[in-house]
Amino acid sequence: SQTIHQWPATLVQPVGSPLSLECTVEGTSNPNLYWYRQAAGRGLQLLFYSVGIGQISSEVPQNLSASRPQDRQFILSSKKLLLSDSGFYLCAWSVPGANVLTFGAGSRLTVL
């Protein structure tokens, strides 16, 4: 069966520091991968998606970037965090061409 892992679960970082959140998927090949951000009262906002290694599409211009160095690995990064980057970040995957999303457990980022 397929599983999705996301870490770290919780992160507290100072303004201006770098960020790296990692996500891996097991039990499937060539998944579509996604990063969402969840802010209180604002639902789920798609940040990036990837349909293959090295292929990244951005939905929202921001202080963040994403990379996919391996087929089942997706990384969310920032060179310098802003206060507004605080939130709950969710990684997700889907079968190519399908709409059904499976989410990871999430990473809570607090920028101070």
Partner 1 sequence: GENVEQHPSTLSVQEGDSAVIKCTYSDSASNYFPWYKQELGKGPQLIIDIRSNVGEKKDQRIAVTLNKTAKHFSLHITETQPEDSAVYFCAASTGTSGYSTLTFGKGTMLLVSP
Question: Using CB under 8 A as the criterion, which residues of the chain lie in contact with partner 1 when the complex forms?
Answer: 6, 32, 34, 41-44, 49, 51, 90, 92, 94, 96-106, 108
Q: Which is nearer to partner 1, 83 or 98 (CB)?
A: 98
Smallest gap from Cβ 94 to partner 1, in A, equals 5
Q: Which is nearer to partner 1, 5 or 80 (CB)?
A: 5
Residue 76: other Cβ atoms inside 10 A:
22
Cα 18 versus chain centre, distance: 15
In the block, tokens 């101070």 appear at 112
Measured CA to CA, the distance from residue 21 to residue 30 in angstroms comes to 20
Smallest gap from Cβ 79 to partner 1, in A, equals 26
Q: Which is nearer to partner 1, 10 or 17 (CB)?
A: 10
Q: Which is nearer to partner 1, 87 or 104 (CB)?
A: 104
Smallest gap from Cβ 14 to partner 1, in A, equals 23
Measured CA to CA, the distance from residue 97 to residue 58 in angstroms comes to 18
Measured CA to CA, the distance from residue 1 to residue 102 in angstroms comes to 12
SS3 (DSSP) at 30: coil
Smallest gap from Cβ 61 to partner 1, in A, equals 16
